[in-house]
Amino acid sequence: MKKVRFCVLSLLLLPALLLPTNANSAPTRYGGIGGSVLEIQEDCPITVTAEQLTFDVSEWDGVQLSAQVTAVYQMKNPTSDPCSVQMAFYLDEYDGQVGPPSPADWTDLACVTADGIPLDFSARTVSPDGEDAGRTALVYTVDFPAEDSREVAVSYQSYAYACRDGTSHWTQEFTYLLSPARYWADFGTLDLTVNTPESCPYLVDASLPLEADGDFRYTAHFDTLPETELTFTLYPKPEITLLDRAQAALSAFLSSAAYLFAFFWPVLLILAVFLILLAVRLTLRRSRRKGR
């Protein structure tokens, strides 16, 4: 009888032992591409009087969101001499990014203008040395007359950093580097606008104080350049609640159960047959004992 009990206990524990350990403990991630303000040499006299930064986030395309990012700079040459300035717009890239496979492809996904006139630019991979190693830079040249202003705009496609770590829906994080703007002789105001899609309209986290401005829109104004980089996270619900995390845990459990049934149903079938036969045997044994 002890051997029978041991066999039953072993069969009952077998599915738990075969279940994938911590199947949902590691988040599933998709890489993304962010951007940065312009960066130039430190002794350049050009100033930025204002920047208008806009994220137009598109509707869902599978797991990952994308956005058309447009940075419009009001720039001024305060000196009495004309100058020609080479500029670099750095793109902050995550490992495993979903984006252009090579820098050359950026020429079809980005646009640079000065006073509305398109400028030629090239996309270059930053050398492996220094803090910008591994990034792609859009490089172009802008001519400034003496004591005159120009409007320079950069537009490109950005991809979210999608993550599903204990949530029932994917979180979508976008990033934009602000620190390179400190290289300008002076930097004025920054106005930020994020237009969100109907399928993922809520901003649940941000490194800067963005405020709701009607439906599907968040804005912020800064009199000076913020000290931190810009990151913000979008989500289909207004906030990530405890119930939301509980639903994610339940979904993970059901997924594990489905995995268990799909791959180990023969074991479960044998276990069910064994238990039925054991129950029949015990019933017959008890009937015989009563008959005596």
Q: What is the pLDDT along the chain (292 residues), one digit of tens a residue?
A: 544 444 444 444 443 333 332 222 122 233 455 555 444 566 788 999 999 999 999 887 667 898 999 999 999 999 999 998 888 887 765 433 335 555 557 777 889 999 999 999 988 776 555 555 566 778 889 999 999 999 999 998 888 888 877 777 888 999 888 887 888 889 999 999 999 999 999 999 999 999 999 999 999 999 999 999 999 999 999 987 776 656 655 555 455 655 655 666 677 677 778 788 877 777 777 777 666 6
Q: Where are the beta strands (DSSP E) in the chain?
A: 28-30, 35-36, 38-39, 47-57, 66-77, 83-91, 110-114, 117-118, 122-125, 136-144, 148-159, 161-164, 171-177, 187-195, 202-206, 211-212, 217-222, 230-235
What pLDDT, on a 0 to 100 scale, did the predictor assign at position 29? 32
What pLDDT, on a 0 to 100 scale, did the predictor assign at position 188? 95
Please state the pTM of the whole predicted model. 0.70
What pLDDT, on a 0 to 100 scale, did the predictor assign at position 36? 54
Residue 68 in tokens? 């058309």
